[in-house]
Structure 1
Amino acid sequence: MTTTPVVDGRTRHYGDFYGLSEPEGDGAVALVVGNCQAESLRIALEGGGLRTVRTPAVHELVATDLPHLARWLARAELLVSQPVRDDYHGLPLGTAQLAAALPARARVVRVPVIRFAGLYPAHAIVRPPSDASLVPPVVEYHDLRLVVRAAARGGAVDAPSPLPPLRPESVRAVAELSRAELRRREEAHDAVVVSDLFDRPSFAQMRTLNHPGNPVWRSLAERVRRRLALPEHEVDPGRPLLDSVHAPREAVVVEAFGLDEAPTDHWVVGGRRVEAAEVEEAHLGWYADHPEVVTAALARHEDALRLLGLS
């Protein structure tokens, strides 16, 4: 049984999910579940016979959300989900668990968590075993060159200096490593394939290593529809999706893939330009306080470090 939630910023934002409003249209109800990428895919799938429900990211769901989720699962004819393990965060949010709560007629399509490091080959996401919630300040992406520097200096902070240059062949090697990992995940979960989109990468595809741009969402939505034998339908969201963070575009990446896009030397965070030196200084100071993150990064990304000539 669901109860009417307190009306606040969160419940208004997810008004349909919490029963404050009803999705527009009269198509089949579709739920899209996953991390922050799920909302962009939902937008790209909306309409054309589907009525989607804006749903909180799976890592943001709490126990009091379960009745609302159950209500929508009971109505859904389609679940599009990234692979989520059973009892995620101690709640029955696994893809298999959600699928079991669907009506018998409903269909399930799995989509991959999209990460492609080829355009940002030195960047990495690190979740240390000691505390998976630990993220560095300013931006959550680690630069492996900076991690190696922090390890060599025992975390001591000094004035930023130029990071070691990368080679085009190293960039291409990291791209292939990243594509291979994405292919492995697609095959393991029988997920809709997107890895081939990065055979000829461009910065329009990825704003960071895990923030795809509109061309990727357009292609993924088209492929989801094709798997379901749904009619073609293209959505113009009228804005860039998943646009809050843009990483610097390095000249060596432009060279490695023969891109006609200009390199940049700064981040964009929430629409604000942030100089790379500011990020480096903040991260070096943070590593001094969290040496376990440096250790975890060196272990987790040893293959990329080797390909980049950093180990």
Structure 2
Amino acid sequence: MIARRVHYAEFFGDAPAPDGYGVVVGNCQAESLRLVIASEQLPAVRIPAVHELDAAEASRLHALLAGASFLVSQPIRDDYRGLPLGTAQLRASLPSGARVVLVPAVRFAGLHPFQAVLRLPAFPEDPPLVAYHDVRTVAEAAGLSVPAHLPASAVRALADASVAELRRREALGLDVAASDLFSPVVEDLARTVNHPGNALFLPLGERIVEALGSPGRVVDPGRPILASVRAPLESWVVDAWNLDAAPRPEWIVAGETVSADAVRRAHLAYYAKRPALLAAVVDRMAPLLRTWSAAA
């Protein structure tokens, strides 16, 4: 808890916020966006991801917003997790004249077409080792049959579907778009299905800075961002996109290599002990399971 307060010292009021500060609110992607837009001309206070906030911290966020010059936010429904963290609720705490930019939360299946990240309220515990579900492991646990990999046409179709969904959400009133940034497909676009890479964050950051009136410039952090977890880059995916990258069959978690088989075995044991959860996962992943089954 002490380390957390130190990390978010400006948010908690343990260090002074810079003059003219703004706030970037959202899921795990929000801090990466803050990193690339924050500069002396466009200072932004580091805050926890929205799903990590408790009631006291939600109140602290509203107090911080009362003095903010801008808010960058992903769309968040009112009373998110029972707290006043909806985008409209946050916006209401801003001073008159503060700028607001709404940005998309991004998921892209093109580099990891086997993967899903699920939020199941009845089953809040994440799978072991990595918090992602692999359609092949889920199928194995459920006694279903899917192939080990997809043809290139199916990889591209899943990528197109995720971009189409992103485009649909952008059309609901967002201020910047990201859906056109997934062409051409390169390795650095995504670490996992819901963790974009620098190749997405830097151009998206440029658009946010422009939407804020271009008071600053995009900042390249000089390192991979949102990279604590990297899913395997499988050879058939490399071939589907003709990537200039070597296949990597292992996970990388907090800098350590974790074999895909170790994840598979841990997840099979996890599902075996939780049949109700497995049923819920199969239900949520039904469209992806159908796509994979059709390729068998």
Q: TM-score range by the shorter chain?
A: over 0.9
Q: Structure 2: which amino acid aligns with 1:183?
A: R
Deviations 1:150-198 (A, max 9, x none): 1117xxxxxxxx9623211111111111111111111124242111111
Unaligned runs of 5+ in 1: 1-6, 154-161
Counterparts of 1:82 and 1:103, CA distance in 2: 19
Q: Structure 2: which amino acid aligns with 1:242?
A: L
CA contact (8 A) 1:48 1:233 kept: no
The DSSP-based 3-state class of the residue aligned with 1:309 is helix
The DSSP-based 3-state class of the residue aligned with 1:273 is strand
Distance 1:10 1:289, change over 3 A: same
Instruction: List aligned pairs for 1:77-116, cutoff 5 A.
Output: 77-116=69-108
Q: Structure 1: which amino acid aligns with 2:105?
A: V
Counterparts of 2:191 and 2:63, CA distance in 1: 35
* Residue 45 in structure 1 maps to residue 30 in structure 2: no
Q: Structure 2: which amino acid aligns with 1:145?
A: R
Q: Give the deviation of 1:232 after TM superposition.
A: 5.5
Deviations 1:239-260 (A, max 9, x none): 2211101111111111111112
CA contact (8 A) 2:41 2:216 kept: no
Q: Structure 1: which amino acid aligns with 2:53?
A: L
* Residue 195 in structure 1 maps to residue 179 in structure 2: yes
Q: Give the deviation of 1:308 after TM superposition.
A: 2.5
Deviations 1:234-289 (A, max 9, x none): 31213221110111111111111111211111100010000111000000000111
* Residue 32 in structure 1 maps to residue 24 in structure 2: yes
* Residue 235 in structure 1 maps to residue 219 in structure 2: yes
Determine the structure 1 residue equivalent to 2:122. 130
CA contact (8 A) 1:84 1:93 kept: yes
Counterparts of 1:213 and 1:224, CA distance in 2: 16
Q: Structure 2: which amino acid aligns with 1:282?
A: A
The TM-score with structure 2 as length reference comes to 0.93
Determine the structure 2 residue equivalent to 1:173. 157
Counterparts of 1:256 and 1:207, CA distance in 2: 17
Q: How many residues align?
A: 294
**Cα RMSD for the two superposed structures:** 1.9
* Residue 13 in structure 1 maps to residue 13 in structure 2: no
Counterparts of 1:209 and 1:140, CA distance in 2: 11
Counterparts of 1:191 and 1:262, CA distance in 2: 36
Instruction: List aligned pairs for 1:246-285, cutoff 5 A.
Output: 246-285=230-269
Q: Structure 2: which amino acid aligns with 1:14?
A: Y
Counterparts of 2:294 and 2:118, CA distance in 1: 17
Determine the structure 2 residue equivalent to 1:144. 135
Determine the structure 2 residue equivalent to 1:158. none
The DSSP-based 3-state class of the residue aligned with 1:108 is strand
Counterparts of 1:57 and 1:129, CA distance in 2: 18
Determine the structure 2 residue equivalent to 1:156. none
Q: Give the deviation of 1:128 after TM superposition.
A: 2.8
